[in-house]
Amino acid sequence: MRDARSGREYLPLGKRPPLLCLRVEGEFLAPRLAKWRSTEGKLLLDWGEGFKGEIRIDVKETHLRFELTALEGAERVDLVLWGPFPTTISEIIGETVGVVRDSRYAIGIQALNLKTLGGYPTYEDDHEPSYNIFRASSYVDVSEKVKILYRGQTAKPAPFGSVLQAYCRNRNETRIVPVWGHPRFVVPPLKDGGVLGTKIALFGCPSGAALETLGRIEISEGLPHPVLDGKWGKISHGATESYLILPFGERNLEEALEITKKAGLRYLYQGGPFRTWGHFELDPRLFPHGREGLRKCVERAAAQGIRLGVHTLSNFITTNDSYVRPVPDPRLAKIGSTKLARPAGAGDRVLYIEDPGFFHPPGTNALHAVRLEKELVRYGRISAERPWRLLDCRRGAFGTRPSSHAEGTEVARLLDHDYKVFLTDADLSLEVAGRIADLFNETGLRQISFDGLEGNWSTGLGQYGRQRFVKMWWDRLRPGLRGRVVTDASNPGHFFWHIFTRMNWGEPWYAGFRESQTRYRLMNQDYFHRNFIPPMLGWFRMSASTSLEDIEWLLARAAGFEAGFALVTSFRALSTNGKSGEILQAVRNWEKGRREGLFPRDLKPALRDISREFHLEVPEKGAWRLYPVQASLGNLHPRKDGPWESVHEFVNPYEAGPVDVTLRIHQVKGALLARSITLQVGEGKRVALPTGLEGNRILRLGREGWAVLYDRSWKVIRSFRAGPLLLEKGKNRIRLSCTFEGEGKGGLKAEFRVTGPPVEIPAGKG
pLDDT tens digits, 392-430: 999 999 999 999 999 999 999 999 999 999 999 999 999
Q: Return the sign of the alpha-carbon dihedral for residues 368, 371, 374, 375.
A: negative
| Arithmetic mean of pLDDT, 638-663 | 95
| Arithmetic mean of pLDDT, 249-276 | 98
Comparing CA positions, the residue from 409, 401, 359, 366 lying closest to residue 384 is 359
- Asked whether residue 376 carries a pLDDT value surpassing 80, the answer given is yes
Q: Output the pLDDT for position 567.
A: 98
Q: Output the pLDDT for position 147.
A: 44
Asked if residues 225 and 498 have their Cβ atoms less than 8 Å apart, the reply is yes
Query: Model confidence over 187-209: pLDDT tens digits?
Result: 999 999 999 999 999 999 999 99
Q: Output the pLDDT for position 132.
A: 52
| Arithmetic mean of pLDDT, 345-358 | 97
Q: Output the pLDDT for position 136.
A: 46
Q: Output the pLDDT for position 743.
A: 84
Percent of the chain with pLDDT over 90: 88
Looking at CATH, the fold of the domain delimited by 628-755 is given as Jelly Rolls (2.60.120)
> What radius of gyration do the chain's Cα atoms show?
30
Continuous H helices in 4-94:
none
Lowest mean pLDDT among 447-456, 532-541, 757-766: 757-766
Domain ranges of the chain: 20-223, 243-315+434-604, 334-414, 628-755
Q: Do 243-315+434-604 and 628-755 fold alike per CATH?
A: no
Query: Model confidence over 670-728: pLDDT tens digits?
Result: 789 999 999 999 989 999 998 899 989 999 999 999 999 999 999 999 999 999 999 99
From residue 171, how far is each of 162, 414, 424, 668 by CA, in Å? 29, 22, 18, 58
First to last CA, the chain: 50
Lowest mean pLDDT among 19-23, 357-361, 414-418, 421-425: 357-361
Continuous H helices in 372-481:
426-443, 463-476
Region 243-315+434-604: CATH code: 3.20.20.70
Asked if residues 728 and 654 have their Cβ atoms less than 8 Å apart, the reply is no
Dihedral angle at the C-alpha atoms of 651, 654, 660, 664, nearest 10 degrees?
Answer: -30
From residue 69, how far is each of 20, 73, 402, 678 by CA, in Å? 13, 13, 52, 83
Query: Model confidence over 454-500: pLDDT tens digits?
Result: 999 999 999 999 999 999 999 999 998 988 999 999 889 999 999 99
* d(C-alpha 395, C-alpha 372), whole Å: 10
| 754: amino acid identity, one letter | V
User: What is the reported pTM?
Assistant: 0.94
Q: Output the pLDDT for position 745.
A: 87
Q: Output the pLDDT for position 572.
A: 97
Lowest mean pLDDT among 235-239, 289-293, 361-365, 698-702: 361-365
* d(C-alpha 123, C-alpha 177), whole Å: 9
| 168: amino acid identity, one letter | C
CA atoms in the 13 A half-sphere facing the CB of 146: 16
Asked if residues 36 and 43 have their Cβ atoms less than 8 Å apart, the reply is yes
From residue 453, how far is each of 114, 456, 467 by CA, in Å? 16, 6, 9
Given pLDDT bands bounded at 50, 70 and 90, which one contains residue 134?
very low
> Rounded to the nearest 10 degrees, what angle do helices 253-262 and 580-595 cross at?
60
- Asked whether residue 140 carries a pLDDT value surpassing 60, the answer given is no
| Arithmetic mean of pLDDT, 366-389 | 96
Query: Model confidence over 63-96: pLDDT tens digits?
Result: 999 999 999 999 999 999 999 999 999 999 999 9
From residue 51, how far is each of 34, 355, 447, 555, 676 by CA, in Å? 12, 40, 48, 59, 89
Q: Give the DSSP letter string of 326-383.
A: SS--TTB-EEEEEEBSS-B-TT-S-EEBS--GGGSS--S-SS-EEEETTEEEE--EE-
Comparing CA positions, the residue from 723, 745, 747 lying closest to residue 674 is 747
Asked if residues 470 and 478 have their Cβ atoms less than 8 Å apart, the reply is no
